Structure 1
Amino acid sequence: MPVVRMAMAPSLHQAVTLLWFLTAAVGMPDPIKRDQLIAQEASRQTGGKVALTPVERKLDAKLRQMKEREMWADPFPPALHFFKAKPLIQRSSIFKLLQNMPKGAALHIHSSSLVSVEWLVKNVTYRPHCYVCFTWDNSVRFVFSQRQPFPRWDCFYWQLLHTLRAKNGDPASFDASLMQHLTLITEDPDGEYPNQDAVWEKFEKAFIATAGLVSHAPVLRDYIFQGLQELHQDNVMYLELRSGLSRAYELDGTIHDKMWTLRTFQEVTNKFVKDHPDFLGARLILSVHRAWSASEVKAAVKEAIELQKEFPDVVAGFDLVGREDSRRPLWYFRDALSLPDQLGVTLPYFFHAGETDEEGTEVDQNILDALLFNTSRIGHGYALARHPLAKELSRKRNVAVELCPISNQVLKLISDLRNHPAGVLMSEGHPMVISSDDPSMFGNTGLAYDFFQAFMGIGGLKANLGTLKELALNSIRYSSLPDHLKDAGQAMWQKKWDTFISAHL
């Protein structure tokens, strides 16, 4: 019984004796082995195997010091809702560095939210012949027309925006009210969006409101160019844009087909690349909504096959978009999605999957189904960490996760980004890229904000310069570009990276 008494109330002598006994019996852990274990684990994380040059190591040491100062900030931006954290992020020295960092490619952005809302309101809504209608469900609709549009079920009274703004007497206030209809931004996100249903309802209303502006043919050309410009200003050099190819319209009511939209996208992109030789280009991932019927999706897949044949350098592949939790799972569309294989043709898939926290549901299986249909990348993949087989398969097949941290937080999958499941994926070095999903809706133009949240919140203190370098290179590596353009893109990126490193030592 003396051992029990010692454990209950040990004296200093007894404690020392017990410590000696344990180390003698078990052996004192070897500090060298401990260091080896720590280094081995660190080598597995994203960027862990990146060999930094001497100058990169200098910047990495500087970055570590900056990060140690900011990690203990109170409040810590990644722990706050982005709408509250944004002003804090903008004051961060690490964020300023990330703005200057060459980020490679943006591989997950939706076309209706590509361009900042400020540009839409301050530029597009000031153009002649722009009409507005305020709907019964507290939303807005826009249309460009030579005459007052006819009433329709959701819009009984159209008003010329120029006249309405003049009557208001306070253009700045009026414009701010329009912006509220086109974004999710609010001072009280938790109060205004108490659950996912509430935030998705506003989210989808904002998409509908934007459509009338950006699908006007003259606006569409400027919109694409402006979107590329905003990415370029944030040191992004390539874009893969998910688009439903809404039919563009002219002032006289003429409606263009999807071929016209693809040609327009190609022309505007080529012009931008010509004006900006350090920009690699842009491609489209054709997408349809999950609310469509199986027959409609089958027709859309067939159409995507034909459009890719016609525009092989523009059309990257196909996806299904919309809220996963309330829509049909991928397996529901299995006949439609099997069509390319049945026809003996290739149509790459880039499926949204795992954008859910409803573990074990039918929707939760989208991760596995996406892999069954040989998806090239996984959009969001929020649920992947709890699917060990899917995680293993995606790693073996080099199927990257398109991580969009701000989107996940704003759409209420998670509140504190330090608890994001992608932290597990990053610690294992899972294939991954960073993107922004719907930047105009969230007020985070470019990729710098999402890089900040991933680097500081999800990656934590152990994420370093090697992490940033691998994430940026991944965006080119896992793009849909052919190999020769990937090689050219990586060489172009490396020059920008070397300049960036030298400028920040």
Structure 2
Amino acid sequence: MGVRKVPGLLCVVLLCWTPLCCGRPDPRQREALMKMELAREIGGSVVLNEKEKLLDEKLHQLKLQDMALPEFPPAVHFFKAKPLIEQSPVFSLLQRMPKGAALHVHDFAMVGVEWLVKNVTYRENCYVCFKDDRSVQFLFSAGQPKPQGHCSTWILLRTLREKLNSTELDNSFIRNLTLFTEDPDTAYPDQDVVWKRFEQAFLVAYGLVTYAPVFKDYLYEGFRQFYMDNVMYVEVRALLPPTYELDGRRNSKDWSMRACQEVLHRFRAQYPDFLGARIIFTVHRGINETEAVNAVKEAMTLQRNFPDIMAGFDFVGREDSGRPLWYFREALELPEEQGIRLPYFFHAGETDTEGTDVDQNMMDALLFNTSRIGHGFAMARHPVVKELARKMDVAVEVCPISNQVLKLVSDLRNHPAAVLMAEGQPMVISSDDPAMFGATGLSHDFYQAFMGFGGMNSNLATLKELVTNSIRYSSLSSTVKEKAIADLLVKWDKFVSETLL
């Protein structure tokens, strides 16, 4: 799928271009310029076969229908747009489409929260307490847990369900585990409010997911939900917090990594065409320099002990309120100094504030040789960063719904990724924290990107390049990538043929 050569006429246009004072532009010149612009877009170098052209025309007609809706879904907050999206034939097609890999997904936000509530909270020995901030906390314990500050007495959930309406109780837990609300603009007036609620929801999930038996089941269910959305490979950003047993014993990060290997082996035995998963070990960007040094050392150890499943290292948390990457330079230089290869996958540019230390994170991520840039929302404002990322072939992980819900952009037609897509910037589409937003796998985010970023220009070729990019820019070895892309294209051809029936 190499880069398309610029046709001879386009070269002539570029070399012989002169201002036309007479006001009578040459129609051939106009057509050549339009073709040049289309050739630069993502998908512009993809040549569709005859079947793909037929499907592309069908998709174009379906897209026109959605464009004509009174409420255009990408222009509406996702919480309100979701029912509109799920009624769309375009969305139905995207659900069936093989989507390759999800490269930007967080550990505690992979699995739909209904599974956590309807499955996990109904298990034996599950306790709950109600906190002063109106959130809840869960804990599995063999006996009555010790009292905790700012929290009610621990109550066994089985006992509580005997006294209360289970449906109402479950719905209250679901509200605690997601950001969903019917009136998001009122509930989340600014980024500070929505980020506080976002981080609170992670804490609610924490006590459930870090229980050792649930940790394994959760990973398995996460792989299953992405697989059912036609995703063949996942890279999970994981904090790897200590998991706990029923008697309170704590497990190490090595235990968690071995658990990931075990779950993945079990999952692939049942679903052999699932390519696999790898872990990007993460720490919060609020830590200090000494803690960062220790974290990078720990990452290097994990990389040495689990080379098959450990992909690399990243910082997580709200970028605007965290420390800039440059603050951690001593820690981040350690692998190079010790002759160890530790790949980086930095969140960078998840901000709409220009000219701050944090706004420099994308440049610093590239200087530290990051493998990909997480979000890169600010990239359109940084021409040197764009040029450098292109030269280094570093892809941006774009997560449309996350950026909208966390209030970086309201109308996705105005997302900076629309500019990047038009320029052919290396890009993949991912979903960040789909469970928190009520999204599934990658399909909702693909719809928002396909309909919102590219307008009527984005087509089947756009989708094919984005899907292929997801494997090309993964952390897999070149040999595995080559085979994976071949397998993906077989699935793609099958999808095209079946969709035309």
Larger deviation: 125-134 or 59-68? 59-68
Query: Aligned equivalents of 1:473 and 1:408: distance in 2?
Result: 23
Deviations 1:328-368 (CA, angstroms, capped at 9, x unpaired): 11111111111111111110000000000001111101111
- Equivalents in 2 of 1:194, 1:370: separation in Å? 31
Aligned partner of 1:46 in structure 2 is 42
Q: Is 1:217–2:212 an aligned residue pair?
A: yes
Per the normalisation by structure 1, the TM-score is 0.94
**Take 1:231 and 1:122, find their aligned partners in 2: how far apart are those partners?**
19
Q: Secondary structure at the match of 2:386?
A: helix
CA distance in 2, matches of 1:42, 1:426: 11
- The runs of 5 or more residues in structure 2 that have no matched partner are 1-18
> Partner of 2:5 in structure 1?
none
Aligned to 2:268: 273
- SS at 1:409 equivalent: helix
Residues 225-254 of structure 1, C-alpha deviation per residue, up to 9 Å, x if partnerless?
Answer: 000000000000000000010111111111
Q: 1:24: Cα distance to partner?
A: 11
Deviation at 1:166, TM superposition (A): 1.8
Runs of 4+ in 1 over 6 A off after TM superposition: none
User: Secondary structure, in 3 states, of the residue corresponding to 1:375?
Assistant: coil
Residue type matched to 1:158 in 2?
W
Supply the AA of the counterpart residue of 1:245.
L
Match of 2:447 in 1: 452
Aligned counterpart in structure 2 of residue 411 of structure 1, from 401, 406, 418: 406
Q: Which has the larger radius of gyration?
A: 1
- For 1:189, the equivalent position in structure 2 comes to 184
- Residue by residue over 1:127-177, the C-alpha shift from the partner in whole angstroms, topping out at 9 and shown as x without a partner, is 010000111111111000011100122434100011112211x21111000
Partner residue of 2:473 out of 471, 478, 484: 478
Partner residue in 2 for 1:469: 464
Q: Secondary structure at the match of 2:34?
A: helix
Please name the residue that 1:161 is paired with.
Answer: 157
Matches within 5 A, 1:428-447: 428-447=423-442
Instruction: Spell out the pairing of 1:381-392 with structure 2 (5 A cutoff).
Output: 381-392=376-387
SS of match in other structure, 1:379: strand
Identical aligned pairs, as a percentage?
A: 60
1:56 to 52, 55, 60: 52
Partner of 1:238: 233
Q: Distance in 2 between matches of 1:139 and 1:240?
A: 30
Residue of structure 2 in register with 1:8 after alignment: none
The residue number in structure 2 matching 1:101 is: 97
Secondary structure of the 1:226 match is helix
Matches within 5 A, 1:106-505: 106-168=102-164, 170-505=165-500
Amino acid at match of 1:331: W
Deviations 1:396-428 (A, max 9, x none): 011000000000000000000000011110001
Q: 2:83 is matched with which residue?
A: 87
Change (3 A) 1:54 1:207: same
Q: 1:261 to 1:25 in 2, by over 3 A?
A: closer
Deviations 1:349-392 (A, max 9, x none): 00000000001111101111111111000000000010000100
Amino acid at match of 2:285: R
Amino acid at match of 2:437: F
Q: TM-score scaled to structure 2, two decimals? A: 0.95
Code of the residue aligned with 1:227 in structure 2: it is: G
Q: In the aligned structure 1, how far is the partner of 2:141 from the partner of 2:412?
A: 45
* Post-superposition offset of 1:28: 2.6
Q: 1:33 aligns with which of 29, 32, 35?
A: 29
Give the distance between the partners of 1:448 and 1:429, measured in 2 at CA.
22
Residues 183-214 of structure 1, C-alpha deviation per residue, up to 9 Å, x if partnerless? 10000100000000000001011101101000
CA distance in 2, matches of 1:431, 1:331: 24
Distance in 2 separating the partners of 1:57 and 1:195: 44
Q: Which residue of 1 aligns with 2:68?
A: 72
User: Which shifted more, 236-245 or 266-275?
Assistant: 266-275
Q: Note the residue ranges of structure 1 that are not aligned, 5 or more in a row.
A: 1-22
The root-mean-square deviation of aligned C-alpha atoms, in Å, is 1.2
CA distance in 2, matches of 1:154, 1:318: 34
Aligned-partner residue type, residue 308 of structure 1: Q
Q: How far apart in 2 are the matches of 1:166 and 1:488? A: 54
Structure 2 counterpart SS, 1:66: helix
Distance 2:155 2:163 in 1: 11
Match of 2:287, SS state, is coil
Q: Secondary structure at the match of 1:461?
A: coil
Equivalent position SS for 1:153: coil
Bigger drift between 33-42 and 99-108 goes to: 33-42
- List per-residue Cα deviations over 1:416-444 (Å, max 9, x = no partner): 00000111100011000000000110000
Q: Deviations over 1:279-324 (max 9, x none)?
A: 1000000000011111111101001001110000110000000000
